[in-house]
Chains A and B, each alone.
Chain A
Amino acid sequence: MINIFEVNETNKMIEKENLDVRTITMGISLLDCVSDDITRLCDRIYDRITKTAGDLVSVGNKIELEFGIPIVNKRISITPVAIIGAGAAKGQDDFVKIAMMLDRAAREVGVNFLGGYSALVSKGMTSADRNLIRSIPDALASTELVCSSVNVGSTRCGIDMDAVRMMGTIIKETSEKSDVGPAKLVVFCNAPDDNPFMAGAFFGVTEGDTAINVGVSGPGVVRRAVAKCKGAGFEELCETIKKTAFKVTRVGQLVAKEASLRLNVPFGIVDLSLAPTPAIGDSVADILCEMGLEYAGAPGSTAALAMLNDQVKKGGVMASSYVGGLSGAFIPVSEDQGMIDAVNAGALTIEKLEAMTCVCSVGLDMIAIPGDTGASTISGIIADEMAIGMVNQKTTAVRLCPAKGKGVGEMAEYGGLLGRAPVIAVNKASCEEFINRKGRIPAPIHSFKN
Chain B
Amino acid sequence: MKKTIITVVGKDTVGIIAKVCTYLANNRINILDISQTIVDGFFSMMMIADMNDSPKPFADIASELTQIGEEIGVVIHCQREEIFQQMHRI
Contacts and interface: CB of A to CB of B under 8 A. Distances in A.
B49 interface: no
A129 to B, nearest CB: 42
A8 interface: yes
A247 B87 contact: yes
Contacts of B78: 68
A254 B82 CA distance: 8
B84 A65 contact: no
Contacts of B84: 2, 6-7, 10
Given A65-B58, A65-B62, A10 B83 contact: yes
B60 to A, nearest CB: 11
Interface size class of A (residues with CB under 8 A): 20 to 34
B37 interface: yes
Contacts of A3: 35, 46
A250 B39 contact: no
A42 interface: no
B79 interface: yes
Contacts of B86: 250-251, 253-254
A1 B48 contact: yes
A2 B46 CA distance: 10
A4 B35 contact: yes
A254 B89 CA distance: 13
B5 interface: yes
A2 B39 contact: no
Interface string A8-29: 1111000000000000000000
Nearest to B88: A6
Contacts of B37: 4
Contacts of A1: 33, 48
Question: A-side binding surface: helix, strand, loop or mixed?
Answer: helix
Interface in B43-90: 44-46, 48, 58-59, 62, 77-89
A1 B36 CA distance: 15
B19 to A, nearest CB: 19
B30 interface: no
Nearest to B45: A4
Interface string A251-282: 10110000000000000000000000000000
Contacts of A326: none
B80 A66 contact: yes
A2 B5 contact: yes
A68 B79 contact: yes
A66 B62 CA distance: 8
A191 interface: no
A254 B83 contact: yes
Contacts of B83: 10, 67-69, 251, 254
A67 B80 contact: yes
Nearest to B82: A254
A2 B58 CA distance: 21
Which of B9, B44, B84 has the most chain A CB atoms inside 10 A of its CB? B84
Contacts of A253: 86
Contacts of B81: 2
A67 to B, nearest CB: 4
B55 to A, nearest CB: 17
Contacts of A250: 86-87
B59 to A, nearest CB: 6
9 contacts: A10-B83, A11-B7, A11-B9, A66-B58, A67-B79, A69-B83, A247-B87, A254-B82, A254-B83
The 3 closest A-B pairs by CB, nearest first: A68-B79, A4-B46, A250-B86
Interface of B: 5, 7, 9, 33, 35-37, 39, 44-46, 48, 58-59, 62, 77-89
Interface of A: 1-4, 6-11, 62, 65-69, 247, 250-251, 253-254
